[in-house]
Structure 1
Amino acid sequence: MTHTSYIELSEKAVQNNIEFIQKMLGDDVTFSSVVKGNAYGHGIHPYCTLAYASGVRHFSVSDANEAYEVLKTLPHQDVTIMIMGMIDTSQLAWAIENGIEFYVFEKDRLQRANEEAQKLKKQAKIHIEIETGMNRTGFEPKELSTVLQYIEKNTSHLKVQGICSHLAGAESISNYKRVTDQQKKFTGVLKKIGNQKPMVTKAHLASSAATIRYPKTRLDLVRIGILQFGFFPTQEILVHYLSKHKLVASPLQRVISWKTQIMDIRTVKAGQFIGYGTSYFTNHVTKIAIIPVGYSSGYNRSLSNRGKVLIRGKRFDVIGTINMNMMAVDVTHAEQVEKGDEVVLIGQQGEQEITVSSFNDAIQIINYELLTKLPENLPRIITK
């Protein structure tokens, strides 16, 4: 059975973006592909398959369920999977058994990881998260000595794969002092444990934004999410990069397109309301195309009377209130449209493009939010 809309992922764009990232990082920094939020809405299975084919071997996720999805998708013999957030105590044994790495940021998780590893007669692969100013998760720097002492006593069952922290808003210059203070604090922590560094494989701090704006934060590994999908974290970061490198266009390519088709065409008399309520009134005879996509498909209801779509290479307005499963588009001035015509909700058609940013401008949300709201049940199709 076919779905009413589908997502296309460009293999060429993935290759381009990963090549850009790897070139920027060089050979000494590990690129960890962050695929949380269903790979930012792109789909863990299809995206990780493409990233793996482009040479990526390290993947970061938010929770154990996402780690499980990556593990099912890729050959685990040469892939590293790292959980940055939630892993329940009941899931620790599975993670340890499968060599899944995970953050420890409080003593209970550290102790439970050690206990489960002892039962399995294996090592838990852990990353020590330090709180440097995000005020979310992580050991306070003053706790580190106690943590390291505990690990040293249990090295047969605890293997430190890294030490890390998370920057609080590197995408905005307004956070400059906060971010640089975090950077200094983390550097101080690394110096403090310098004589114990052999037990720590990698230090990591940078996100996509920090990788661009604060290159000194790259350290041994970077956790890059949004860049690999063809988006700079913010317009500010894009301008920063273009100015620094004297470029006029982004070197990244958008991986994702979202498409559907016209399900019906009808003509509405002048003086009528279209769809639910009274949000759109026809001042003249209006030809509308009915599109089988609504807010249950991830097309935000706030785009009512604001959204745009592409049909036959031209841009048309969404009119009336967006319903759960359909919406109307004004095609009165189209030269020719037919039932079954392709409709582009995000992506290119001919010389025109509907960008994710255009959604943001209309309804004031960020790229990350819109992408991750795309339903998991939409088919993801890989294109060349």
Structure 2
Amino acid sequence: MLNTMSMIPHTPSVRHTSSIELSRTAFQSNVAFVRTLLEPDVQLSAVLKGNAYGHGLEHMTQLCLEAGITHISVFSAHEALRVWQKTKGEATILIMGLIENEDLPWAISQDIEFFVFETDRLQAAIAAARSLGKPARIHLEVETGMNRTGFDRDELPAILELLKQHTPHLRLMSLCTHFAGAEEMANSPRIGQQLEQYNALYEEFCGAGLRPAMRHTACSAASLNYPETRMELVRIGIMLYGFWPNLETRTLFLEKQPQQQDPLRRLIRWRSKVMSVKAVQEGEYIGYGTSCLAQTDMRIATVPVGYAYGFARSLSNVGRVLIQGQPAAVVGVVNMNLLMVDISALSGVQKGDEVVLIGRQGEEEISVASFSEMSHQLNYEMLTRLPGDIPRSIVD
């Protein structure tokens, strides 16, 4: 009998429809800038939640270690596991959001720190720590006006009592909170009230004999706009990737600088290739429906990236890509897996030519900001929608 299995060739290394490059020098430049904002004794925690804002958790963890960042904050226990597998004890890992009670023993055994903002989690952490014979390293989050997570003021007497009763099983690493919109100066009164309430709660903890090892309240925006919030540790996310929290934050900072030069550099470059080229006659519709009618004879390039891969459908007929260092307009409806662009003004475009979706090609650049504005998405939203299975690599 013929052995058909022996006839099947070894599976080749197949290529994805697009790829992402991350610039090491850009990241190191951003880290250096952030550190100029901080006093020498303020610790920098790199926020890598949301798959490192879409950049890739493992790759960004590597860049952090190379840049000497030894504190990494993530949202979930699953993200913490991925960072832990990459760092092998070289960095402190902090879970700011979800960790199931069943996963607390693993976190405690590996010295992974985590936010506590519910009595249930605190009690479960105490039980797990007692069973392991090893203290849980907790960051107690207090509610100061964000109204999202954090212990309310009336819960604190019971929490203080629990902390006192179980001192051997707990390490109170910090008292922390999060500000509600520090990137917009219109929120200044609210931020000021939050800070005032936080400081009062901190004094209450200290007065009860429970002085936390550190305080942290500041994200990227608060670190820029409210220097008094930097304290012993800051949680920096979006700036490390080369983006400002919003346009207002950027404008306010640059107005104070003599040269008014943007110190942040984007890490990300997202690229694909032309999959097919074809001619479309005047009067023909392009793609699904009737949203795009060829007003003249046109040449169209198809790119194997669509909304399933992070290129929003809202970019239909308004988006841009770069081919041959020149902008090419998206025409027709962005499909699940494809988009079409007008290359009528370009000569010699062929199958396999590079297409830049975000980043620089020649002298032209498509920024995430312009990409986001065209699709009415926030920088954060657009970036974190980039699928995790797009291959990523670190370049200089």
- When normalised by structure 1's length, the TM-score is 0.98
- In the other structure, the counterpart of 1:122 is 134
After superposition, residues 283-362 of structure 1 pair within 5 angstroms as: 283-362=295-374
Q: What aligned pairs does 1:20-169 form with structure 2 within 5 A after superposition?
A: 20-76=33-89, 78-169=90-181
Shift in alpha-carbon separation, 1:351–1:197, aligned structure 2, 3 A:
farther
Please state how far the C-alpha of 1:286 moved relative to its aligned partner. 0.5
Hey, what does 2:288 align to over in structure 1?
276
Q: What percent identity do the matched residue pairs reach?
A: 45
Distance 2:250 2:97 in 1: 28
Query: Which of 179, 201, 216 does residue 204 from structure 1 map onto?
Result: 216
Distance in 2, matches of 1:323 and 1:139, equals 45
Per-residue deviation, residues 243-278 of structure 1 (Å, max 9, x unmatched): 122342210100011000101111111111111111
Match of 1:251 in 2: 263
| 1:177 paired residue number | 189
User: For each residue in 1:77-114, what CA deviation from the matched residue of structure 2 results, as whole angstroms up to 9, or x when unmatched?
Assistant: x3110011111111111111111100111111111100
Cα root mean square deviation, aligned: 1.1
Quote how far apart the aligned CAs of 1:26 are: 2.7
How far apart, CA to CA, are the structure 2 residues paired with 1:370 and 1:308? 15
- Structure 2 residue identity aligned to 1:11: R
- Of 252, 264, 279, the residue aligned with 1:240 is 252
Worse overlay, 331-340 or 255-264: 331-340
Which 4+ runs in 1 deviate beyond 6 A? Answer: none
Which secondary structure state, in structure 2, belongs to the residue aligned with residue 156 of structure 1? helix
**Residue type matched to 1:292 in 2?**
P
- Residue type matched to 1:18 in 2? V
Residue aligning to 2:18? 5
Q: In the TM superposition, what is the alpha-carbon distance from 1:120 to its structure 2 partner?
A: 0.9
List gaps (5 residues or longer) in structure 2. 1-13
Secondary structure in structure 2 of the residue aligned to 1:145: helix
Tell me which residue corresponds to 2:10: none
Distance 1:145 1:295, change over 3 A: same
CA distance in 2 between counterparts of 1:246 and 1:305 reads: 40
Paired residues of 2:205 and 2:211 also in contact (CA < 8 A): no
- 1:195 Cα deviation from its structure 2 partner: 3.8
Structure-2 residue corresponding to 1:19: 32
Matched residue of 1:245: which SS? Answer: coil
Distance 2:77 2:259 in 1: 40
| Structure 1 portions without partners, runs of 5+ | none
Aligned residues: 383
Counterpart position of 1:225: 237
Residue 97 of structure 2: SS of its match in structure 1?
A: strand
